[in-house]
Amino acid sequence: MDLRRNFHLNDWELLNFVNLTDEEREMVRKWRNHADITKWMYSDHGISFQEHAGFIKKLQKDNHNFYWLVKSKENKYAGVIYLNRVDFKNKNAYLGIYSAPNNKLPGTGQELISSLKKLVFDMSEFHTLKLEVLETNETAINFYKKYGFIQEGRLREFVFKDGKWLDVVVMGIIKAEEN
């Protein structure tokens, strides 16, 4: 399956980053630089226009990392979902997800994770989906638990943020466990 394409899932459109308009690319860059987003990322520096453009250009030939901007049928942008470290042979990947800052659409997180799980398990027929989340992001950890992910491990003092070392919680879900 070509994951560089756009997808339509129920009332949502998943726009692959390589297919975005210039305006959509800039909107995503601004979201990614928003304090509410960067505080949870491993890389929390301000991303320049040039760096973002280079990142998207690299995605055009990348067979292991795929990013989508999620838009509702009402043309409202909900957030971003992505797959990293995609392993087609072993049918697994790591996920990432974030809602648009100041998003007022109710149930956005549920829609984003549901869309990603549908893409991974139903359409791409992957077996396993993993994620990594900073130990201090209790909201995200509880969110993922609510949607069937279980803690599988911990990367001790893995990320240095705000002058201190933080653990990273590794969580996962197997297709057979997905509801």
Task: Copy the structure tokens of residue 34.
Answer: 């928003």
Residue 73 lies in a domain: yes
CATH number for position 32: 3.40.630.30
Predicted structure pTM score? 0.94
The answer to whether residue 89 is domain-embedded is: yes
- Residue 85 in contact with residue 94, Cβ under 8 Å? yes
Helix/strand/coil for 24: helix
pLDDT tens, 116-136? 999 999 999 999 999 999 999
Least confident of 8-12, 68-72, 93-97, 148-152: 8-12
Name the nearest CA neighbour of 121 among 49, 174, 42. Answer: 174
Asked, for residue 146, whether it belongs to a domain, the answer is no
Binned at pLDDT 50, 70 and 90, residue 159 comes out as very high
Distance CA 112, CA 96 (A): 10
Q: What is the pLDDT of residues 53-98, one digit of tens each?
A: 999 999 999 999 999 999 988 889 999 999 999 999 999 999 999 9
Q: Using 50, 70 and 90 to split pLDDT, how confident is the model at 179?
A: low
Give me the number of domains the chain comprises.
Answer: 1
In a domain, 117, yes or no: yes
| Residue 142: pLDDT over 80 | yes
What was the pLDDT predicted at 56?
Answer: 96
Q: For residue 171, is it within any domain?
A: no
Angle, vertex CA 52, rays to CA 54 and CA 119, nearest 5: 95
Q: Flag whether 138 is in a domain.
A: no
* pLDDT value at 178 more than 90: no
Q: Which domain holds residue 113?
A: 7-126
Q: What is the pLDDT of residue 103?
A: 77
Contacts within 8 Å (CB) and 24+ apart, 137-146: 137/40, 140/40, 141/169, 141/171, 143/109, 143/113, 144/113, 144/171, 145/171
- Does residue 148 fall inside a structural domain? no
pLDDT by residue (tens digit) across 89-110?
A: 999 999 999 999 987 677 889 9
Q: What is the DSSP letter of 23?
A: H
